[in-house]
């Protein structure tokens, strides 16, 4: 079953995961067509504004020598270094001034793929009486999947915005979608 964007209502939040330059074409960890999520998410930001629901945006924000980097034995090339150009949100992403930012990946000893991992985000959302979360961003099978799965574990209703995410690999994306659906994450229609 798909859900239409007109379903946005009080008690919902839009959660935009890691739409940063390093994950877009030309970036340090470029995801194919990663920047195509931007116009889609901009429509959802507009819908969120109309529905007067909060917008959260997470960002990967690594120190030099982060354990997720290849030189440290991790799986990734260096990316989203704190205060670097590549760590900036995509400049065309029309984040409202009221956007609440969630910074993650700052630990020296372990990675945090999920925006819920040791950030206090679940408590923050509960404090604002949020029960449903609409998720999009990058990368589908990495931080988007980890975030959506944690949101389910924390008891939220979760919708993945269908066209607002892109995977590192096509197979990884399919596999993630399967896992998400098994965990009760629903797929939303496009805005």
Residues making contact with ligand VGL (CB under 6 A) = 18, 29, 60, 68, 76, 138-139, 142-143
Q: CB of residue 20 vs ligand VGL: minimum separation in angstroms?
A: 8
Closest CB to ligand VGL among 5 and 177? 177
60 near Zn ion, rule: CB under 5 A: yes
**191 interface partner picked from ligand VGL, Zn ion, none, CB below 5 to 8 A per type:** none
Active site residues: 18, 104, 143
Q: CB of residue 59 vs ligand VGL: minimum separation in angstroms?
A: 9
DSSP letter at 9? -
User: In this structure, is the dihedral angle defined by the CA atoms of residues 117, 137, 10 and 182, taken in order, positive or negative?
Assistant: negative
Q: CB of residue 68 vs ligand VGL: minimum separation in angstroms?
A: 6
Contact 114, 146 (CB under 8 A): yes
Closest CB to ligand VGL among 75 and 97? 75
Residue in the block written with tokens 């995509």: 90
Q: What is d(CA 90, CA 13) in angstroms, rounded to the nearest whole number? A: 20
Q: Which residues pair with 100 in a beta bridge?
A: 56
Q: Mask 63-102, x = binds Zn ion (CB under 5 A)?
A: ----------------------------------------
Q: Assign 41 to helix, strand or coil.
A: helix
22 near Zn ion, rule: CB under 5 A: no
User: Of all helices (H) and strands (E), which one includes residue 147?
Assistant: helix 145-153
Number of Cβ within a 10 Å radius of residue 102: 21
Interacting residues toward Zn ion by CB under 5 A = 60, 105
């Amino acid at each position: 079953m798909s859900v239409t964007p007109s379903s946005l209502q009080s008690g919902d939040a839009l959660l935009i995961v890691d739409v940063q330059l390093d994950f877009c074409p030309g970036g340090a960890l470029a995801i194919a067509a990663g920047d195509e999520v931007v116009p889609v998410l901009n429509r959802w930001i507009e819908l969120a504004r109309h529905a007067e629901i909060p917008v959260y945006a997470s960002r990967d924000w690594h120190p030099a020598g982060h354990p997720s980097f290849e030189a440290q034995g991790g799986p990734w090339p260096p990316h989203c270094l704190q205060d670097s150009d590549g760590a900036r949100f995509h400049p065309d992403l029309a984040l409202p001034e009221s956007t609440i930012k969630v910074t993650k990946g700052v630990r020296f000893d372990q990675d945090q793929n999920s925006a819920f991992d040791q950030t206090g985000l679940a408590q923050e959302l509960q404090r604002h009486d949020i029960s449903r979360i609409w998720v999009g961003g990058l990368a589908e099978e990495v931080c988007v999947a980890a975030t959506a799965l944690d949101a389910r574990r924390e008891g939220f209703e979760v919708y993945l915005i269908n066209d607002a995410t892109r995977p590192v690999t096509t197979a990884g994306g399919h596999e993630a979608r399967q896992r998400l659906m098994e965990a009760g994450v629903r797929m939303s229609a496009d805005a």
